[in-house]
Structure 1
């Protein structure tokens, strides 16, 4: 990956295309017929992902057991849920979202000063993967590292709005704390010691990064997607959605469920690394993002990941003769190279690692 230093074609900012008032989107963004929003499985109406009140983790034994059970069921059956009363300040959530919206409203020459490359993705971007001629998604983003400290570089974080860097620091601190509580709950529900998954991720030396997604208005939302179907390659994603515009859809059997965000809730989903560590007890789930002809959307995806050089493999406590290890060890660095080269490809990466026969 170190040899890939630039994108295969000139970068066009989707926000700029949207602001031109085009009646039709460029061909580069038109999905094949089978991948368009209305062509690939129906949208399931009148359903939502589970909503879990995390204050129950600090209640009496009965309430705590009930909350752990809800987390376990959602992680095994859905791979997605919404968390309310999670301990992150609602005011900070609103402030972070608004400050990032202000960043994307800045002049293009300001944003271009933070343009990213495929080497680390850090900075202002508009595509994933370096596959030449790929069909692109209708979105821009900003990606930055929060942990480990040696990767965090404030010079790569936006200087404007002036309070954004301070807000990112506090937001990251609070979300990491919530992520640690989630890791305890997931470990306990697997029958492991409560610090098992955290230790597997590197203890306090985890990887954590933020991708702020900006989905501009789109004149032909039926022909494209804001983000193509994929499962998240990392450990766990803690998403702060746009409160006013729905767009995230989660794969559920043979259909898609549009997530209806609860007030000041995080949308939490299992990533591929926890699927591997749990030996397929927890599942990462495909999801995609729709775009809108009348409204833009913004969301903050916080990725709680293992340290990049640690081998990730099924927990030995979860491997039995009846349930052999499904995956061979692999570092997160090796794993995410797939997406950096090819972009989002459903669950093809994690599925490709499964052993053809029990070991």
Structure 2
């Protein structure tokens, strides 16, 4: 006999209604005396900060603005008014271009040609001469993506005995000749830098002050060359921004007053600053001079520190060599403090008075002696 299962009890849907809402609490007065102050505080604290993104930090290109092109032979013959106008233009752009500077184009071309041989050294030998905290010369290691590392190479040259011995070990047939020509060029570039500094100081709004620099730092900074081999050109802003960041790091590492740029072939020249960057086409065999961080400090901010870089458009990567001479005048002193050099102390004045008295008495004695002898 089949057993019929008993039906389950029917559930009344009404029994499963949502619970009624909680009773609304009676309103009570806020414990704060001034609700407006609380509301303003909450609005300020909950506001999302205005973030400065990298795209906004990177400077934009300005309209084309050529720097003043100056004939080096006429540098000391400008009238005061014209000199001030030229210096004002230099302060706006951050650089100037020198023509007829007196340095032989053959010497410049020879040094640039010999500099290209540095980058022909095998990679395993370059590692032995890589830069480190202990040495301020050698090959600069390029970090980043592979295509960026292939873009360029850098070598920093300075006139030091230790560098000469190390480099002759890995480049025995070329480094001695290269250093010899570099020393010739360095002496002439130092004279160019000295004349420019003198011109800027004479025609600036106020006299320079060297309180922000140490003499030993200035002497060493004037003997550093940054040599770069420019590789294949990459398009887009990625490569440009990477170059600017790398130049900013290098510029802050080697403090200098002026940077004097040479390059091989024809190129555009870019000048980067916080306000933006400008591009111009320099004359062949000219020297482009950019303002360094030391000069910005000495001038009280009248001249702004900028970064200069030639940008090659040619396809011949091996001949795309540029060099920058980081110059600072040795033991630069403020011309306004020249009175201190001629100050005579009280002791010196007393000694001088005594000497004058003795000389006077001696002359009087001689005079009386000859007078007596004549009248006799």
What is the DSSP-based 3-state SS (H/G/I as helix, E as strand, rest coil) of the residue aligned with 2:288?
A: strand
Q: Does residue 305 of the first structure (1) align with residue 317 of the second (2)?
A: no
Equivalent residue, structure 2, for 1:16? none
Give unmatched runs, 5+ long, in structure 1: 1-32, 319-359
The equivalent position to 1:274 in structure 2, one of 292, 295, 320, is 295
8 A contact 2:130–2:141 mirrored in 1? no
Equivalent residue, structure 2, for 1:143? 156
The equivalent position to 2:191 in structure 1, one of 161, 177, 184, is 177
Q: Does residue 154 of the first structure (1) align with residue 168 of the second (2)?
A: no
Count matched residues: 268
Give unmatched runs, 5+ long, in structure 2: 1-52, 338-376
Please give the root-mean-square deviation of Cα atoms over the aligned residues, in Å. 4.2
Separation of aligned partners in 1, 2:158 and 2:82: 31
Separation of aligned partners in 1, 2:284 and 2:310: 19
1:130-150 deviations in Å (ceiling 9; x for gaps): xx99x977431111224xxx7
Once the two structures are TM-superposed, the CA of residue 228 in structure 1 deviates from its matched residue by: 1.4
Equivalent residue, structure 1, for 2:265? 243
Structure 2 counterparts to residues 56-205 of structure 1, below 5 A: 56-59=74-77, 63=78, 65=80, 68-69=83-84, 71-127=86-142, 138-146=151-159, 153-157=163-167, 159-161=172-174, 163-190=177-204, 202=215
Q: Does residue 48 of the first structure (1) align with residue 66 of the second (2)?
A: yes
8 A contact 1:71–1:186 mirrored in 2? no
Over 3 Å counting, the alpha-carbon distance change for 1:255 and 1:281 in structure 2 is closer
1:249-290 deviations in Å (ceiling 9; x for gaps): 224786432231211111111111111111111111255665
Over 3 Å counting, the alpha-carbon distance change for 1:316 and 1:171 in structure 2 is closer
Equivalent residue, structure 1, for 2:305? 284
1:102-159 deviations in Å (ceiling 9; x for gaps): 322344345444222243331112348xxx99x977431111224xxx7774225564
| Higher Rg | 2
8 A contact 1:275–1:283 mirrored in 2? yes
Which of the two has greater helix per residue? 2
What is the DSSP-based 3-state SS (H/G/I as helix, E as strand, rest coil) of the residue aligned with 2:135?
A: coil
Equivalent residue, structure 2, for 1:216? 231
Over 3 Å counting, the alpha-carbon distance change for 1:58 and 1:124 in structure 2 is same
Q: Does residue 234 of the first structure (1) align with residue 256 of the second (2)?
A: yes
What is the DSSP-based 3-state SS (H/G/I as helix, E as strand, rest coil) of the residue aligned with 1:185?
A: helix
Over 3 Å counting, the alpha-carbon distance change for 1:70 and 1:241 in structure 2 is farther
Separation of aligned partners in 1, 2:54 and 2:309: 14
Over 3 Å counting, the alpha-carbon distance change for 1:242 and 1:126 in structure 2 is farther
Separation of aligned partners in 2, 1:44 and 1:88: 32
TM-score, normalised to structure 2, is 0.58
